[in-house]
Amino acid sequence: MKKKTGAKITAPRLWLVMTRSHHALRLLAEQSIANRDLCLTDFAALEALLHKGPLTISEIQDKVLLASGSMTAAVDRLEKRGLVVRKSTPSDRRARIVALTPQGKQVAAAYFDKHAKDLEDLMSVLSEKEKGQIYTSLKKLGLCAAKKLTTRRSANEQHDI
């Protein structure tokens, strides 16, 4: 659908375009990962561990924005495949750290490289300037939304007292 010249882009219209775009991009990303014999949750956990090093399940969860049960199930699947191990930490024996195995590191790096190439291919329709504008705009919008959420949570907590 083509935008009419000079037509104002309303917030609801922008939201719709962003949502539809995100949906299509997510499906393509999931296909890229599924072609590697992983679901998105498993891949996200591997990618976080590859780039951040050993993490607790809750730290992985914070990085990939998934529910705790989903993340635990993903780590269980990855552990069964021999791609990650759970370890105790010397500072807190109750805490369990998840780390990539040597095989996991190799698989995660290979999968991430292929996925990154797929995304680069997709994003090649945008100029560097357009990528920069989208990045800056979405970051600004996301930070504003996060700030509003924090403010509303604080107001709700004070109201509950």
Residue 84 lies in a domain: yes
Counting the structural domains of the chain, the total is 1
Residue 161 lies in a domain: no
Q: Is the pLDDT of residue 159 over 90?
A: no
Residue 31 lies in a domain: yes
Q: What is the mean pLDDT of the chain?
A: 88
Which CATH number is 32's domain given? 1.10.10.10
Residue 150 lies in a domain: no
Give the tens place of pLDDT for each residue, 85-141: 999 877 777 778 999 999 999 999 999 998 899 999 999 999 999 999 999 999 999
Residue 123 lies in a domain: yes
Structure tokens at 146: 């996060």
pTM higher than 0.85 for the full model? no
Residue 110 lies in a domain: yes
94 to 18, 59, 110: CA distances (angstroms): 42, 15, 33
Residue for token pair 């750290």? 97
Residue pair 60/48 in contact (Cβ under 8 Å)? The answer is yes
